[in-house]
Structure 1
Amino acid sequence: MATLPREAHIHLSTKIVTPYIIDLIPYSLRIVFLAVLSACGMLAVALSPDDTDARSLAGKIGGIVLANISSGAGEVNFLSLTHYYGHFSLAAWGSGTGGAGLIGAGVYTLVTTTLGFSVRGTLLSSILLSVVMLISYFILLPLGPLKSAQKNRKGYQQVDADEAEAPEHESSGLLEQPSERSFSQAYQRHQSVVKQALSDLKTKLLRARSLVVPYMIPLFLVYLAEYTINQGVAPTLLFPLEESPFKHFRAFYPTYGTIYQLGVFISRSSLPFIRIRSLYVPTLLQVVNLAALTAHALWPFVPTVWFVFAIIFWEGLLGGLVYVSTFAAIREEVLDEEREFSLGAATVSDSAGIFFAGLLGAGMETALCRWQVAHGRDWCRRL
């Protein structure tokens, strides 16, 4: 499967927590932290021994955990960052993330298979991508809009703080005990900070709740459907080799994955040209894709693999389109003061869809393969 439930769970957990605490950390420190996490994750996986003992396995899992935390928190961070830039920033983000899936897998295959580089060497060289992330933020990205917005925000916060300190009581005379008064003021300030933090958390939870129906449910459902297809159904969408362009049954699945990523890349890059208003329509179409491909896996009715290629491509188009259109809608429809948080909070939907699809897909792949073997099609057991 493309995504293990454990990895998806880490990714999901990171996205659930991050939007509520990430605003406590300046963007510059976030970028450094994300780059370090990503580099450490790749180092841990690359430098772990190739053995299958517990120590080696623990090192690899630890690296995967770090990489997933960096990935999950990174998506929250960068989508929130698009709030400070124009609409083109969201289109660029969508195109970049779509291209990452397509190019990343292709480059890895090219380097390890065609050029003959080792997996360890490839992973170690990939650490340079963390440096590229730092260069992109600190050198290439114009930071003027972000710094200006943060300066204005700090100005407002300072006014509020001055107002909060205004009602301080004057000295009550010679009988006053300074130490007790100082302790009382410190305690009151602590209580005020705690109350403010709880109030902010309550406000964010209310904001997140308002995002559920219009944005988060369709994004969750479209990812649930497409990743269930990718992980649970696609491995069983097989045809006789003489009726396909392949020499081995193992070639079907990676080809489906590449076609899917191509569709995602194209649709995520289409935001400047195509903008859908109803998120539920393409979501429903994605569910139809899942139902149709599952039905074919059970009772084959699609005459040729080329039709399946077209459906998988269409699946990628729908998934990418809902992704970018969801965040475009948040940018346009959510109030300015709530937009930065909302862009980050909504990202939990796609990770939740991937997580539950991983659980559902694991069972579906096994069940569909058993069904096919029982009905005389044992291709899913062959390589």
Structure 2
Amino acid sequence: MQVESDTSKPTPIDTIPTAVRRRNVISFLILGLCNNYVLVLMLSGAQDLLAKDDPAALAARQNHSDHCLEDLNARHCTKTSTGLVLICNILGSLTIKAIGPFFIHRVPYGVRLLVVCSAQTSAIFLAALAPNVPLTLVGVLVASFAAGLGEMSLLSLASHFPRSTILGWSSGTGLAGLAGSLIYAVLTDVRLLAFSSSTALLLNLAFPVIYFITYFVVLVYPSTVKKACLFSPSSWFDFKKSSKVSPNYQKQINEPNTQKINKMEIFKGVSKFYLSIFIIYFSQYFINQGLLELTLFDCTRAFGMGPAAMYRYYQVLYQTGVFISRSSLPFFSLNLCMILSLPWMQASLMILFCINTFIAFIPHFAVAAGLVFIEGLIAGSSYSNIYNHIYKSYDIASRERAVSYVASADGFGILLAAISALPVHDTICKVPLKHIWN
């Protein structure tokens, strides 16, 4: 087997056969799916993972006794907010994205992906088999590291391919959210397959294998990606400073009419997008990991579902909205005014759910689930349309810097949401529950 780096004689992107283009788009869709899938599993099973240090909750899950709530006059709080899982779910990714740019270009893509697949496999085993929460959270951290390394590597690799591969990647990452949350819900729902959380996680070990096969077997590399021998450790790290870039990139930055924009102008131009993504990701993850586990309904208003089932299907509805909106870009796009209105819509939903945890006015699970679905639509639309707008607004020489400025906004928004969710969860749980419906 061979792994790659970044040099060799270029092959013009325009000469790639149509069949190969389609194969690579499908490959990037599958890579996007597998890269984010394990992280989604961790978030979907957050309550189950944290139950390991709560004997009563653990016994209830092991006995499949997620009964619907007959009475909502009292709070039904978990020992720890699922925001704790979210912190671990973003820290690993943020760390590698922060330090990676200083050295990662010297590590061949194939070596990086071997690390990613190995880390994903280790993360699943750790999260599934660890006897306590701290070791389980180490597994979540490892999964986060793998997702971050995979994302930064594959987005960089995509510069060697036609732009259509990015559309495949975007749809794949959206599909990961839907598939991961839905599969976990089906596997663990007491009315369906009723597997334990550990068994459900272990059954998903196939995804790192699919990731590996897709990258090393299915994907067709252009000649700009040099191959290095797997059994030659000296080729696993490039100590020589390389100035090679993709042919399409080099062609466009050498065009005489390419407009050069200085760093400050780029930063000012994309600052509105940075703020938008930060607000949207903070709002949606504060809802998902801080408020939804407290948005509960009794038997008659929740289709007979218990708290754990409600939480899982909230995640499914959210990820469905994300997938639909991320996949809609080839059919229609939003203008700048609509894009900039999305964060305030998301923040409004966060305020609504926050008020509802103190004074419950949402009358039924179906209504709350519908709002969560809208939340997902907003999240996916913002992600795809903001990056599409940047792509259209900047020439290729400035676009890479513009994207790099905006890329960290989601991570910092998620991290702040996770940190905020912990004290807010504890505060809400100490306040008596009031509701206006009877």
Same fold (TM over 0.5): yes
Mark the CA change 1:329 to 1:30 in structure 2 (over 3 Å): closer, same or farther.
farther
The yes-or-no answer on 1:321 pairing with 2:381 is yes
Match of residue 7 from structure 1: 89
The yes-or-no answer on 1:126 pairing with 2:204 is yes
Query: Is residue 161–residue 222 contact of structure 2 (8 Å, CA) maintained in 1?
Result: no
CA RMSD of aligned residues (A): 3.4
Query: Cα offset for 1:47?
Result: 5.2
Alpha-carbon displacement from aligned partner over 1:241-286 (angstroms, at most 9, x marks no partner): 3233224344332222221111111111111112123232111111
Match of residue 330 from structure 2: 272
**After superposition, where does 1:1-383 map in structure 2 within 5 Å?**
1=82, 3-46=85-128, 48=130, 50=131, 52=132, 59-111=135-187, 114-115=192-193, 120=198, 122-144=200-222, 147=225, 153=245, 209=267, 213-278=271-336, 279-340=339-400, 342-343=402-403, 346-373=406-433, 375=434
Partners in 2 of 1:120 and 1:299 — Cα distance?
A: 35
SS at match of 1:153: coil
Partners in 2 of 1:285 and 1:96 — Cα distance?
A: 25
Partners in 1 of 2:383 and 2:312 — Cα distance?
A: 23
Larger radius of gyration: 1
Partners in 1 of 2:298 and 2:202 — Cα distance?
A: 40
Query: Sequence identity of aligned pairs in percent?
Result: 25
Query: Is residue 79–residue 344 contact of structure 1 (8 Å, CA) maintained in 2?
Result: no
Query: Cα offset for 1:116?
Result: 6.0
- Structure 1: gaps (5+ residues): 156-202
Partners in 2 of 1:211 and 1:20 — Cα distance?
A: 25
Query: Cα offset for 1:310?
Result: 1.9
Which segment is superposed worse, 245-254 or 214-223?
245-254
SS at match of 1:229: helix
Partners in 2 of 1:116 and 1:242 — Cα distance?
A: 22
Partners in 1 of 2:172 and 2:418 — Cα distance?
A: 24
Query: Is residue 301–residue 363 contact of structure 2 (8 Å, CA) maintained in 1?
Result: no
Partners in 2 of 1:58 and 1:293 — Cα distance?
A: 30
Query: Cα offset for 1:99?
Result: 1.5
Aligned residues: 323
Query: Is residue 361–residue 435 contact of structure 2 (8 Å, CA) maintained in 1?
Result: no
Partners in 1 of 2:381 and 2:432 — Cα distance?
A: 33
Counterpart of 1:129 in structure 2: which amino acid?
F
Partners in 1 of 2:324 and 2:391 — Cα distance?
A: 21
Query: Cα offset for 1:347?
Result: 3.0
Counterpart of 1:261 in structure 2: which amino acid?
Q
Partners in 1 of 2:291 and 2:153 — Cα distance?
A: 32
Alpha-carbon displacement from aligned partner over 1:95-145 (angstroms, at most 9, x marks no partner): 211211221132234345555666555545534322322322233223227
Partners in 2 of 1:342 and 1:145 — Cα distance?
A: 27
SS at match of 2:296: coil
SS at match of 1:271: coil
SS at match of 1:242: helix
Partners in 1 of 2:298 and 2:402 — Cα distance?
A: 48
Runs of 4+ in 1 over 6 A off after TM superposition: 203-208
SS at match of 1:346: helix
Partners in 1 of 2:281 and 2:86 — Cα distance?
A: 15
Query: Cα offset for 1:45?
Result: 3.9
Mark the CA change 1:231 to 1:41 in structure 2 (over 3 Å): closer, same or farther.
closer
Query: Cα offset for 1:316?
Result: 0.5
Partners in 1 of 2:128 and 2:290 — Cα distance?
A: 29
SS at match of 2:220: coil
Counterpart of 1:350 in structure 2: which amino acid?
D
Mark the CA change 1:345 to 1:85 in structure 2 (over 3 Å): closer, same or farther.
farther
Query: Cα offset for 1:69?
Result: 0.8
Partners in 1 of 2:121 and 2:401 — Cα distance?
A: 27
Mark the CA change 1:28 to 1:106 in structure 2 (over 3 Å): closer, same or farther.
same
Mark the CA change 1:242 to 1:68 in structure 2 (over 3 Å): closer, same or farther.
same
Partners in 2 of 1:60 and 1:302 — Cα distance?
A: 34
Counterpart of 2:419 in structure 1: which amino acid?
L
Mark the CA change 1:365 to 1:325 in structure 2 (over 3 Å): closer, same or farther.
same
SS at match of 1:4: helix
Query: Is residue 233–residue 293 contact of structure 1 (8 Å, CA) maintained in 2?
Result: yes
Partners in 1 of 2:298 and 2:188 — Cα distance?
A: 29
Counterpart of 1:227 in structure 2: which amino acid?
Y
Query: Is residue 89–residue 143 contact of structure 2 (8 Å, CA) maintained in 1?
Result: no
Query: Is residue 259–residue 309 contact of structure 1 (8 Å, CA) maintained in 2?
Result: yes
Counterpart of 1:82 in structure 2: which amino acid?
A
Alpha-carbon displacement from aligned partner over 1:138-177 (angstroms, at most 9, x marks no partner): 33223227539x996399xxxxxxxxxxxxxxxxxxxxxx
SS at match of 1:144: coil
